[in-house]
């Protein structure tokens, strides 16, 4: 059967932010002075200082971000329940909210202002609240890049969004700086709520308020598509287990949080994140990657034997990493399993598939596939496999 066919034509990775070109160069000493003076003037003259809910005065933007290069809108919404579980998601529009949320992409040197609109009903937030004294709201807390207290996304700093309100968060992808010793911010990161339910956003995270962030350095390899894979509690991948982790339609697979699909040879990027309380190990069948910042080794460079090539990587809560692989490289099209390698986790349903189609976007004959957990319901009987 050749039902598997990817019809859409090389879309941008998810519906995240697109980078707006190369970061500006602004690094002569004279220029630095001017910038420093501008920062001061901006802070003092243009409302660059703001008073948080707590009453403290904080800078609005990190040093180096004179003004945002880009702005974007982000919406926190309530999604249909998963059984009895309340589900929330971030989206660049209320209609496209999902868990994980949109994949964010920045270039080092870029500064982005993200306005978060809280459309989650107060009653829903009340249900998720673990302590009646805790304020109702959602927030945006990010890992890896720079932000001030006003963009911390916590109750303590007053940087959250009550129901029906909006707030702008500023992220700065600080570049490397030899003078200060800054290592830069390029890497694979994530963002999440830090307020829903309690002071650490545990209920918000558990409900779906999280997403991936990649910060690139000029010259980094660009992928053809990006998938964010979040390993969490109760043997979950993106809060789903078993059959629910993979809802690809064989006739018309649409890339998304529950459909990891690519054509052979496409550069597929994974952003892998751990949430919750469990340790995991991330394993992808048939593909391996370099254990470097980008998960790649530069083409044309002599192979560095000091860089391990791996196909399995430990992942603790709050950890994130990423890599790129050429889909089906040397191994061809097929249904390549992606799972947690802690055996009781994979046995419990912590397993999904990367579907690699041929170059024309079709699944070659003989590659029928059914997930064990879907086999009974879907009536499929071929291609069953064990997840371990």
Taking the complex as a whole, the smallest distance from the CB of residue 328 to Cu ion amounts, in Å, to 25
DSSP code, position 52: -
If one asks whether residue 315 binds Cu ion (CB under 5 A), the answer comes out as: no
**Binding range to Cu ion, per CB under 5 A, among 127-135, 306-314, 343-351, 374-382:** 343-351
Residue of 87, 280, 339, 387 interacting with Cu ion (CB under 5 A): 280
Residue partners of 157: CB distance under 8 A and separation at least 6 = 52, 54, 56, 58, 149, 150
If one asks whether residue 354 binds Cu ion (CB under 5 A), the answer comes out as: no
> Token pair for residue 58?
């904080």
> Token pair for residue 221?
């390899």
**Binding range to Cu ion, per CB under 5 A, among 87-95, 162-170, 171-179, 345-353:** 345-353
Cα separation of 269 and 330, whole Å? 17
If one asks whether residue 150 binds Cu ion (CB under 5 A), the answer comes out as: no
If one asks whether residue 338 binds Cu ion (CB under 5 A), the answer comes out as: no
Q: Which is nearer to Cu ion, 154 or 346 (CB)?
A: 346
Q: Which is nearer to Cu ion, 66 or 340 (CB)?
A: 340
Taking the complex as a whole, the smallest distance from the CB of residue 149 to Cu ion amounts, in Å, to 34
**Binding range to Cu ion, per CB under 5 A, among 47-55, 182-190, 221-229, 278-286:** 278-286
Indicate if the alpha-carbon torsion angle 118, 59, 174, 293 is positive or negative: negative
Q: Which is nearer to Cu ion, 125 or 340 (CB)?
A: 340
Q: In what order do the strands lie in the sheet with 70-82?
A: 85-91, 70-82, 111-118, 166-172
- Give the burial class of 163: count Cβ atoms within 10 A of its Cβ; 0-12 exposed, 13-18 middle, 19 or more buried: middle
If one asks whether residue 111 binds Cu ion (CB under 5 A), the answer comes out as: no
Residue of 342, 353, 354, 357 interacting with Cu ion (CB under 5 A): 342
| Buried/exposed code over 33-45 (b: 16+ C-beta within 10 A; e: otherwise) | eebeeebeebeee
If one asks whether residue 205 binds Cu ion (CB under 5 A), the answer comes out as: no
Q: Which of residues 44-63 bind Cu ion (CB under 5 A)?
A: none
Q: Which is nearer to Cu ion, 312 or 360 (CB)?
A: 312
Q: DSSP string of 152-207? A: S--TTTT--B-TT-EEEEEEE-PPEETTTTEE---EEEEEE-S-SSSTT-HHHHHH
Residue of 345, 369, 371, 387 interacting with Cu ion (CB under 5 A): 345
Taking the complex as a whole, the smallest distance from the CB of residue 291 to Cu ion amounts, in Å, to 19
Residue of 272, 340, 353, 363 interacting with Cu ion (CB under 5 A): 340
How many chain residues are in contact with Cu ion, going by CB under 5 A? 4
Q: Which is nearer to Cu ion, 280 or 313 (CB)?
A: 280
If one asks whether residue 141 binds Cu ion (CB under 5 A), the answer comes out as: no
Range 328-332 contact pairs with CB under 8 angstroms and sequence separation of 24 or more: 328/262, 328/264, 328/265, 328/286, 328/356, 329/265, 329/287, 331/286, 331/287, 332/264, 332/356
Site for Cu ion, rule CB under 5 A: 280, 340, 342, 345
């Amino acid at each position: 059967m050749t039902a598997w066919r990817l019809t859409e034509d090389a879309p941008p990775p998810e519906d995240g932010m697109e980078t707006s070109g190369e970061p500006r160069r602004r690094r002569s000493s004279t220029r630095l002075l001017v910038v420093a003076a501008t920062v001061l003037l901006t802070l003092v003259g243009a409302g660059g200082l703001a008073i948080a809910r707590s009453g403290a005065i904080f800078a609005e933007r990190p040093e180096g971000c004179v003004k945002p290069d880009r702005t974007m809108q982000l919406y926190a919404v309530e999604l249909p329940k998963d059984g009895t579980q309340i589900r929330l998601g971030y989206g660049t529009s209320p209609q496209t909210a999902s868990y994980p949320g949109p994949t964010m992409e920045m270039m080092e040197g870029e500064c982005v202002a993200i306005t978060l609109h809280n459309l989650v009903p107060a009653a829903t937030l009340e249900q998720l609240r673990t302590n009646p004294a805790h304020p109702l709201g959602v927030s945006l807390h990010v890992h890896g890049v720079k932000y001030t207290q006003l963009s911390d996304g916590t109750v303590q700093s007053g940087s959250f969004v009550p129901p029906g309100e909006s707030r702008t968060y500023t992220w700065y992808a600080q570049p490397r700086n030899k003078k200060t010793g800054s290592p830069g911010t390029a890497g694979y990161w994530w963002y999440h709520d830090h307020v829903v339910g309690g002071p650490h956003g545990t209920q918000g995270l558990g409900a779906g308020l999280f997403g991936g962030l990649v910060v690139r350095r000029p010259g980094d390899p660009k992928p053809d598509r990006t998938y964010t894979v979040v390993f969490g509690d109760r043997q979950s991948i993106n809060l789903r287990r078993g059959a629910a982790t993979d809802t690809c339609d064989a006739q018309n697979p649409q890339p998304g949080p529950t459909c990891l699909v690519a054509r052979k040879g496409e550069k597929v990027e994974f952003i892998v994140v751990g949430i919750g309380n469990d340790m995991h190990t991330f394993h992808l069948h048939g593909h391996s990657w370099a254990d470097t910042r980008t998960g790649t080794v530069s083409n044309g460079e002599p192979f560095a034997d000091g860089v391990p090539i791996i196909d399995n990587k430990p992942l603790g809560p709050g950890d994130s990493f990423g890599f790129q692989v050429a889909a089906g490289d040397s191994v061809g099209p097929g249904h390549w399993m992606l799972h947690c390698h802690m055996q009781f986790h994979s046995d419990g349903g912590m397993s999904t598939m990367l579907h690699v189609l041929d170059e024309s976007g079709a699944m070659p004959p003989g590659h029928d596939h059914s997930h064990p957990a879907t086999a009974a319901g879907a009536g499929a009987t071929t291609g069953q496999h064990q997840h371990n």
